[in-house]
Amino acid sequence: MDIIETLRGIVGSTHVLTGADAAPFAQDWTGAYRGEPICAVRPADTGEVAAVVKAAAAAGIAVVPVAGNTGLMGGTHAPGRIALSLERMNRIREIREGARIAIVEAGVVLTQLHEAADQHGLVFPLTFGAKGSARIGGVLGTNAGGSNVLRYGNTRALCLGLEVVMPDGQVLNTMSELMKDNSGYDLRDMFIGAEGTLGIVTAAVMRLHPKPLAYATAMVAVPSVADALGLLNRLQSATGGAVEAFEYMPRSYFEGWTKREPDKRPPFETTYDHAIMVEVGATAPRDATPNETGEIPIQAYLEEVLGEMIEAGTALDATVARSEAQRREIWERREIAGELSLGAGPFVLTDVSVPLDRVEPFLDRAYAALEADDPDVRHLLVSHLGDGNLHLTVWPSDGDDGYERVMEIVEDIVQEMGGSFSAEHGIGLGKRGAMARRKDKVALEVMGKIKAALDPQGIMNPGKVLP
């Protein structure tokens, strides 16, 4: 095809992949979305991205941006389209310790930024299981959340500015390094969470934070979700909002974990119905400096709170990490969540959020409704409980045929409770049905107008997000 030769002239022959060489771009991480692209093209810089987009626009061929390809909703599905990989655009252009910012290209891997920030005594706090392969462009595209949203916010809260290649190949520079920049419409936020449907993010200014001097990390068994939230509120008040992670893993999660990791040590001798992974980060020396007995104050405080709760019956058991190795062991149990959902047949991965005080009633109703609909249904839950985000994986007995039915059952309850059918995984293909059913009609109309105005040819990741 002429477009292939044109792209080779832009990025070089070795960076235009076709046939078997493009196979990694023919399916996503879950394996649920498959489709062979015309080619995969790997530009080296923003200028090459702009030239590729201009060539695609002239040929009337759609472009699908691909970062780490670790999404869960089919956002990088590119059959018959150009898959534009950002993997070569992986430079950290600058870290400014004084301003606590990092200027990065869209292909930077999350752990790469973690390690670079650490060298400056800072953290880029966004983290989740796929951090070793997810890239900045992808997390911006879905406004990813992860385990530390409770303290630091979603990706949107961690971004100050963007560089974006528009559908006509122009380069939009909103690379602000400012906390305050009230100069008209906030174009940056329009592209964050748009999944490449309005333009391709090629670089960003990301916020860094002080690195905690010490962590207090524990697994806690509680009688109920309400007791877990009592622990959260108590710790938040006492630490000034220093709780970094508050992750809920019920019995179903540990049953799945034990089946997959039979040789790993469980957190407790008994499997409880409700367990929490909690981590508090101390940035003040008074909370992180060991005392004369060697105790770290933030860890001692967490142990004190948990001891009081166990005595009061609002906690059942607790294991506190005494070393970095034990802390990593606790985190590894949580970060394997994605793998627990794969390989067990067709599944429905919900990603919903509800107000914190409605988490427990939501779960009670969702379990009851799913089992009433399908007595043979199986499910597994893990949750960013601190921000009300629940990942309920469901295996309907009728496989793929049950996908939309299960989604609607869950959506009905979420909507009644004032929640959202999409919290952090994006819309992609998997939740377009939900967008049509649940999103405000005026909001959809406005989104459609924005899409049509910026991308009149419809070449930017078409068929995603909007129903």
Over residues 307-332, the pLDDT tens digits come to 999 999 999 999 999 999 999 999 99
Q: What is the mean pLDDT of each run of 10 residues along the chain (467 residues)?
A: 93 96 90 91 98 97 95 92 98 97 98 98 95 96 95 97 98 96 93 98 98 96 96 92 96 91 91 96 93 91 94 96 94 88 80 96 97 95 96 91 93 96 95 95 98 98 96
The residues of the chain that CATH labels 3.30.70.2190 are 214-335
The residues of the chain that CATH labels 3.30.43.10 are 2-87
Looking at domain 214-335, which of 3.30.565.10, 3.90.550.10, 3.40.50.720, 3.30.70.2190 is its CATH number?
Answer: 3.30.70.2190
Q: May I ask the CATH architecture of the domain 344-453?
A: 2-Layer Sandwich (3.30)
CA gap 89, 104 in Å, rounded:
9
Please give the model's pTM, rounded to 2 decimal places.
0.93
Two structure tokens written together for 409:
């059952």
The fold adopted by the segment(s) 92-210 is 3.30.465
The angle formed by the CA atoms of residues 101, 103 and 109, to the nearest 5 degrees, is 105
**Which whole-number Å values give the CA distances from 257 to 253, 336, 416, 420, 440, in the listed order?**
6, 8, 32, 27, 38
Query: Are residues 86 and 97 in contact, defined by beta-carbon separation less than 8 angstroms?
Result: no
The residues of the chain that CATH labels 3.30.465.10 are 92-210
The residues of the chain that CATH labels 3.30.70.2740 are 344-453
Q: What is the CATH number of domain 2-87?
A: 3.30.43.10
| Residue 456 φ then ψ, to 5° | -60, -25
Residue 343's pLDDT is 64
Residue 347's pLDDT is 87
